[in-house]
Amino acid sequence: MNAGRTARAVGVLALAGATFVSLAAPVAAAPRPLQATVGVGGGCIDGQAKPNTFVKVVVRDVNGVQKDREAVTVDAQGAWQSCIDFLAEPLGAGDKVSLFDFETHQALKFTIPRVTMTVNRVSDVVSGTAPAGMKLAVEAADSQGILFGDQPYDLIKHVVAASDGTWSHDFGSNGINLIGGAQLEVRESLKGGDVLIYRDMNVPGVQIMLGSSEFIGYIAPYKHIGIKLTQGANKVATGDAVGDQTSGFDGRFVDAQGELYRVAGGEWFRAPALGSDASWRIPVIDGTANVSSDVVTGTCFANNPYVVEAGPIAFAFGTSASNGSFSVDLTDFGGIAHGDGVLIACLSSGGGRGHSAVHRELTGNTSRAR
């Protein structure tokens, strides 16, 4: 074998050996992608990155004003979180986010897009705006509809924003009744799925406690609710509140003198901001709880659901009669003992949709509720 052929043979064997060693050696795993999740209206950004490293986070608003600047630790499971300055405005459209992993040198920059969401609880349509062509996932979930004869649901539908920047989906076409308190979420992904932006809200609804001035409920985030209570032609109280970042609100009824007004029952309730069905007479309830028979009676909205809770375990629900009356025997549900707290909740479907509630608390005895 001449020197040339020998050299070539040795070279081929060396290359083969190198190739064999290369194939046999373990391949280093790629680092976990730098990822972020942002809730519009919230104050924190969550994410994933290579475990046990550090991520630099910088957030500026649409005007360039700094909201957040810090280096956060990524835990052993790869999770990290950074929250904006306490005095800064919540995270919203136009905010610019810059992320950098000190160890892997991965970088992620994005601007929070303007994506809005609203709901018509009468028509069961969820709609909003988004950049034209943006793909969105819209989710509706509820487990309390069983009181209205509906099955629990958790449904995700995919929509695309039209050329004019609008989007919508009719959940009624899926057999879903969007009652007050049902959860809604719209979300979109950016940067190849490494960024998830979401916005939450609850379907509008209100709860009132007889004998109290307080009311609570849900409306679109940061939207004002104005409630008016009347007796005949006379306005007896008003209630004002604003939805928080996830659409919850609470407030107090006040009379014309600015004093707290305790709801007695019988007042006419109107709150157009909740929906076109938010107009009804507040039931007096007139509940009684009899410890001898374990029977609770009262009067609620006609042909609508009622719920009764008593003591530590008793719970029952049903539908009232055409005059609003109901009677339920709790014997098989644990019964009523003297001194037990009893809660009656009257639910209004507001013309077949909606869902609002009026509560009254009483004590287990043989007399009418105080």
DSSP sequence for 105-128: --EEEEE------EEETTTTEEEE
CB neighbours of 174 closer than 8 A, spacing ≥ 6? 155, 157
Q: Mind listing the pLDDT tens digit for each residue in 216-270?
A: 999 988 999 999 999 999 999 999 999 998 889 999 999 999 999 999 999 999 9
Residue 356 has pLDDT above 80, yes or no: no
* Residue 56 falls inside a structural domain: yes
**Do 213 and 271 sit in the same domain of this protein?**
yes
Q: Which long-range contacts (CB under 8 A, 24 or more apart) does 330-338 make?
A: 330/294, 330/295, 330/296, 331/293, 331/294, 334/310, 335/294, 335/310, 335/311, 336/289, 336/290, 336/291, 336/294, 336/296, 336/310, 336/311, 336/364, 337/291, 337/311, 337/364, 338/291, 338/364, 338/365
- The C-alpha angle 66, 71, 72, rounded to 5 degrees, equals 115
Residue 278 has pLDDT above 90, yes or no: no
Distances (CA, A) of 227 to 129, 147, 171, 213, 289: 28, 25, 28, 12, 31
CATH number at residue 83: 2.60.40.10
Distances (CA, A) of 305 to 60, 343, 366: 49, 14, 24
* Residue 12 falls inside a structural domain: no
Helix (H, G, I), strand (E, B) or coil at 198: strand
* Residue 14 falls inside a structural domain: no
- Compute the distance between CA of residue 114 and CA of residue 208 in angstroms, rounded to an integer: 34
Lowest-confidence region among 15-24, 161-170, 216-225? 15-24
The total number of structural domains in the chain stands at: 4
Q: Mind listing the pLDDT tens digit for each residue in 36-66?
A: 999 999 999 999 999 999 999 999 999 999 9
**Do 215 and 259 sit in the same domain of this protein?**
yes
**Do 93 and 124 sit in the same domain of this protein?**
no
* Residue 18 falls inside a structural domain: no
**Do 98 and 127 sit in the same domain of this protein?**
no
Torsion sign, CA atoms 93, 96, 102, 103 = positive
Higher per-residue confidence, 292 vs 28: 292
- Compute the distance between CA of residue 17 and CA of residue 308 in angstroms, rounded to an integer: 80
Domain span at residue 97?
35-111
State the chain's mean pLDDT as an integer.
87
Distances (CA, A) of 66 to 35, 85, 86, 241: 21, 9, 12, 30
DSSP 57-82: EEEE-TT--EEEEEEEE--TTSEEEE
Boundary (domain end) residue, out of 149, 176, 202:
202
Boundary (domain end) residue, out of 202, 235, 251:
202
**Do 165 and 216 sit in the same domain of this protein?**
no
Q: Mind listing the pLDDT tens digit for each residue in 82-135?
A: 999 888 999 999 999 999 999 999 999 999 999 999 999 889 999 999 999 999
* Residue 353 falls inside a structural domain: yes
* Residue 4 falls inside a structural domain: no
Lowest-confidence region among 124-133, 183-192, 330-339? 330-339
Of the chain, the end-to-end C-alpha distance in Å amounts to 114
Boundary (domain end) residue, out of 281, 309, 333:
281
Mean pLDDT: which of 13-27, 31-45, 142-156 is highest? 31-45
Residue 368 has pLDDT above 60, yes or no: no
**Do 134 and 86 sit in the same domain of this protein?**
no
Looking at residues 157-175, what average pLDDT do you find?
Answer: 97
**Beta carbons of 40 and 95 less than 8 angstroms apart:** no
Torsion sign, CA atoms 257, 262, 265, 271 = positive
Q: Mind listing the pLDDT tens digit for each residue in 21-40?
A: 334 445 556 778 999 999 99
CATH number at residue 299: 2.60.40
- Compute the distance between CA of residue 304 and CA of residue 155 in angstroms, rounded to an integer: 26
pLDDT, position 145 = 75
**Do 350 and 290 sit in the same domain of this protein?**
yes
* Residue 24 falls inside a structural domain: no
**Beta carbons of 175 and 145 less than 8 angstroms apart:** no
**Do 198 and 144 sit in the same domain of this protein?**
yes
Helix (H, G, I), strand (E, B) or coil at 313: coil
**Do 183 and 255 sit in the same domain of this protein?**
no
* Residue 175 falls inside a structural domain: yes
